[in-house]
Amino acid sequence: MARKHLAETILLILVLVYTVNFINANIDPSEVKILPVREQVLWTRGEADVHEYRIPVITSTVSGYLIAAVEARKYGSGDASNKFLAVRRSKDGGKNWEPQQFLLNDGPHVKDGVNLGAILTDRETGVVFINYITCGHNTDINCTASVHMINSTDEGYTWNEPVNLTKQIGNAPFAAGPGYGIQKQYAPHKGRLIICGHVHLTGSQCILSDNHGLTWRFNIQGVYTIPYNQTQKTGDFSPNECQMVELPDGSIMLNSRNQYHYHCSCRIVAMSYDGAETFPIPYISFDEALIEPACAAGLLYHQGIMFFTNPKNTKSREKLVLQWSFSNGTKWDNEYTLWPKLTAYSTLTAIPGYIAYEPYIYILYEKGSKEACESISLIIVSIDGSIL
């Protein structure tokens, strides 16, 4: 009997802790007022003798710092080309940014260099991970696709030597994100690290770690292409670049690029209820409100609201729009145009409001007037009208 009462007491404490966190992390829909309060270009084409900067990713650290990373494409615009990884850090909520660091110089003779995948903060250990792939485009017969992880144990001040994950996950051309990985905050598999992406010709899949990034493995079942592992064409089902979020019930929502416009020029959505181990077919759908020209997009769940960014256009990459939902994406309640001209990839982050109320989200995106990738810009958006 004593053990029963003890178990009930522990359960009650856990419920109360969860409830307090949940309340602190939400904002009443009536209080939402979207207001861009600051915008700053972090990278510009040609800066530091780099031809072009692309593929923005961003995360917040356990101390509330922001870390942004991009591909620094040295000599050309191609996905398969020579690159650095460029990283910048802000310690004051995005107001000021430290000079960029260049990491992972892949050398002048590499034909198929570094492609940035996802950034991830382990909020239990404080370690920040950046995932990337090399030789992912099959353009160089002298190299084989391999997935790597680089990490920082001091919130982006310094970075450790990369780890090649080939022995753990094989040499499948797994291209993460681009965007951010997550650490599960709720059961099942609380604490698990998850990075989702796609494998050429086979569809969306995730890599998982249950030991704080020491080892990684593929999940059991992804969202697979139709036809599977074959050359694809317009009209085929082909989930591609993706971003996932965890919802308060512990489920995972995976929102993917619809590469060949199967069913619609809109996003593919898949749900997992077992910590991203599987994405069963009955839980795969299309969000016809989220139209797209086939492009990477941003997704974030913060303060009880789901946010989404992409070029809201079925034909071309232009007009970056922020949409938000109070019902976990079952309906999109409103939208705000952030940039009316050319744009491409975007990503979002926030400083978690588990304890204190945090009214800002951070949107990092590719921006241009004549071409979509002339710069990488950061917009700080207040979600309740607060001014910095």
In the block, residue with structure tokens 């030597």: 161
Catalytic residue status for 106: no
Active site residue 345: yes
Active-site entry in 155, 241, 358, 366: 366
Q: Given 345, 360, 362, 365, which residue is catalytic?
A: 345
Out of 18, 39, 47, 79, pick the active-site residue.
Answer: 79
283 counts as catalytic: no
> According to the 3-state scheme, what is the secondary structure of the chain?
CHHHHHHHHHHHHHHHHHHHHHHHCCCCHHHCECEEEEEEEEEECCHHHCCEEEEEEEEECCCCCEEEEEEEECCCCCCCCCEEEEEEEECCCCCCCCCCEEECCCCCCCCCCCEEEEEEECCCCCCEEEEEEECCCCCCCCCCCEEEEEEECCCCCCCCCCEECHHHHCCCCEEECCEECEECCCCCCCCCEEEEEEECCCEEEEEEECCCCCCCEECCCCEECECCCCCCCCCCECEEEEEEEECCCCCEEEEEEECCCCCCCEEEEEEECCCCCCCCHHHEEEEEEEECCCCCCEEEEECCEEEEEEECCCCCCEEEEEEEECCCCCCCCEEEEEEEEEEEEEEEECCCCCCCCCCEEEEEEEEECCCCCCEEEEEEEECECCCC
Residues 271 and 252 sit within 8 Å (Cβ to Cβ): yes
User: What residues are annotated to the active site?
Assistant: 79, 345, 366
